[in-house]
Amino acid sequence: MIGDVVGKLGRRTVRGLLPEIRRERAIDLVIANGENAAGGRGLTPQTAEELFSAGVDIITSGNHVWENREIYPVLDSDAPIVRPLNYPEGTPGRGVYQKDGVAVVNLMGRTFMGAHLDCPFRCADRALAELRDCRTIIVDLHAEATSEKIAMGFYLDGRASAVVGTHTHVPTSDTRVLPKGTAYVTDLGMVGAVNSVLGMQFEPVLERFLTQLPNRFGPVESGPAAFYSVLIVIDEETGRARSIERLDREVA
């Protein structure tokens, strides 16, 4: 599972590293969060296809997936892209993708996220009830608060194969298999520029902090890049995780 892919540099880094990583580690399934893949905010049909061509099997997302309306018809198609399940009814797309015995559930946290959403915990309950015959269930919780992510990990322990956090772009070192067999990490991190603020140009970000005035900023598209991810091994018979480890790279 690959952290939030940020802009052109993030996509280029995935394209350059992922095929070899898949071969080296004999990886069966690759999931990447793509909500920042297009210019640092949003996803387009073209940037989604670029990630698929690089070896990503399923794209998860979050609050920025709505930035480019051209992705809406794709969300409503059979494409393996999911948006947070707990958005209101009638929102484009779906929050669960299931194929070949594997289900991916995308949820969004409510703490500090500024969106009026259904409870992600109760949405998870409903989703898992409908997936009772599926043994491998992977949850991407796109959330700001570490406490909310940790709580979800324990809430779904033994019911999901893995619960991973996205959104903050900062990788955490708390990879572990929880007591009942669920792999967990608070945040995957990102794929983007090392010398940046969460993949974005630091000058306009700093200006906003100093002046509190609205401005626009985009991703850093050159220089060294970080590729942050985790590798999870799941027992297909039981759906329990055997292991989770950080799989991080940096490239010039």
Active site (catalytic) residues: 64
- From the CB of residue 130, how many other CB atoms can be counted at a distance below 10 Å? 11
Say if residue 216 is exposed, middle or buried (CB neighbours under 10 Å; 0-12, 13-18, 19+): exposed
Residue with tokens 């991703």: 219
Structure tokens that stand for 208 in this block: 């906003």
Structure tokens that stand for 227 in this block: 């590729």
Residue with tokens 């990879």: 175
CA–CA separation, 181 and 161 (whole Å): 7
Say if residue 100 is exposed, middle or buried (CB neighbours under 10 Å; 0-12, 13-18, 19+): exposed
Distance of CA 216 to the CA centre of its chain: 24
Q: Are 62 and 52 in contact (CB under 8 A)?
A: no
CA–CA separation, 172 and 180 (whole Å): 21
Position 75, amino acid: L
CA–CA separation, 42 and 53 (whole Å): 18
Residue with tokens 């793509």: 34
Q: Are strands 58-60 and 136-142 parallel, antiparallel or unpaired?
A: unpaired
